[in-house]
Homo-oligomer: A and B are copies of this chain.
Amino acid sequence: MGEFDLIARYFTRPTARAVLGVGDDCALLQPAPGTQMAISCDMLVEGRHFFADVDPFTLGHKSLAVNLSDLAACGATPLAFTLALALPRADDAWLAPFSRGLLALADAHGCELVGGDTTQGPLNICITVFGEVPVVNGQSQALLRSGARAGDDVYVSGTLGDARLALEALRGTQALPAAVLAQARQRLEQPTPRVALGQALRGVASAAIDVSDGLLGDLQHILKASTVGATIDTSIAIDLIACYDQPDWATGLISLKNQLEYVLAGGDDYELAFTAPASAREAVQAAARQARTPVTRIGRIESEAGLRLIDGQGNTLTRNFASFDHFA
């Protein structure tokens, strides 16, 4: 199988919304009048972002999911994406499930594959995704990191910490019952980008980010961009780990210390962390219902810089949590 056969077999499909898709020097998109184009790009590397023996179907899913999660954080509607792929060899047994996983998620979000590149090399998956954000009365409806204000509430969607729990179990540093591992592993390998929630929060949330490197580290980006601080109630956040819903879960299997680490700094959650004025609490819950995605209020934005953690009694936690950094 040559390069062009590979592209034709696995990655070329008719486009519905794009003017021109795979097969020319460029793809052509025609943005709707009065919209901005949101663009994000993520690169996944074997051994860093996924294990070498990961199921290629779930890897295809995750490769696009992490990009759709960035569109979600911006409140954008997915339109299209490009895929650049470095492969050790052109292997049908890998390409067929990888492309199925990738395109199934793409279809679920109406996000068309419009172009890309393939080359031989150490496995590397780079996706650039394009979405649309409306401009209303000259105002962009994009959710940015910079809009949080003192007095705003801090929220997070869905569940936190299960992806990291699965990672630790797969690394052998955390014992887990099979049913719990299966559930947690699903969160690690097939995260759900909160695309509908991001769109529903346009005009409601004041700032948003997706949780990829760990909740606290990612919240810090909002605080820095908005020049504010925050206090987070860890007694609420710690319950956001989903695995405790498992009927056969044995309490105490994860130490409290580790559970806090997984939830607050685990990474790979692909939930949305966002802020909204206290006056918008009803609107936030309405957006959550509309998007069928639970959201939990975990803290408050303050004018004093810094991120403060409290327990259920309001006492300050002094522990530090490191956010994921590829070069730290």
Contacts of A119 in B (CB 8 A): 43-45, 48-49, 326
* CB <8 Å contact, B122 and A122: yes
Query: Is A144 engaged at the interface, CB distance under 8 Å to the other chain?
Result: yes
Q: How far is the CB of A49 from chain B (nearest CB, A)?
A: 7
Residue pair A85, B43 in contact (C-beta under 8 Å): yes
A114 within 8 A of B: yes
| Contact between B45 and A37, CB atoms less than 8 A apart | no
CB distance from A80 to the nearest CB of B (A): 8
B contact residues around A76 at 8 Å (CB): 26
The oligomer's copy count stands at 2
Q: Mark A77-89, 1 if CB is under 8 A from B, else 0.
A: 0001011111101
Known: A25-B73, A36-B30. A41 touches B325 (CB 8 A): no
- Residues of chain B lying within 8 A (CB to CB) of residue A86: 43, 45, 124
* B327 A2 Cβ-Cβ under 8 A: yes
A267 to B153 alpha-carbon distance, docked (Å):
57
Do A28 and B38 contact each other (CB < 8 Å), given the known contacts A117-B43, A326-B119? yes
A140 / chain B contacts, CB cutoff of 8 Å: 19, 28
Closest B residue to A114 using CB positions: B39
* Interface size counted on chain A using CB atoms at 8 A: 74
Give Cα A120–Cα B225 distance, bound, in whole angstroms: 25
The answer to whether B326 touches A128, judged by C-beta atoms less than 8 angstroms apart, is: no
| Interface membership of A90, Cβ < 8 A | yes
Interface string of A87-122 (1 = CB under 8 A from B): 101100000000000000000000000111111111
Given A36-B19, A84-B41, A142-B20, do A26 and B120 touch, yes or no (CB 8 Å)? no
B115, B124, B210: the one contacting A40 at CB < 8 Å is B115
- Shortest Cβ distance from A144 into B: residue: B24
Contact call A90/B327, Cβ cutoff below 8 A = yes
CB pair A117–B41 under 8 Å, yes or no, is: yes
Cβ–Cβ < 8 Å partners of A122 in chain B: 45, 121-122, 124
Closest chain B CB from A143 CB (angstroms): 8
Interface residues of A (CB under 8 A from B): 1-4, 6, 19-20, 23-31, 33, 36-49, 70-71, 73-74, 76, 80, 82-87, 89-90, 114-122, 124, 126, 128, 130-131, 133, 135, 140, 142, 144-146, 208-210, 225, 325-328
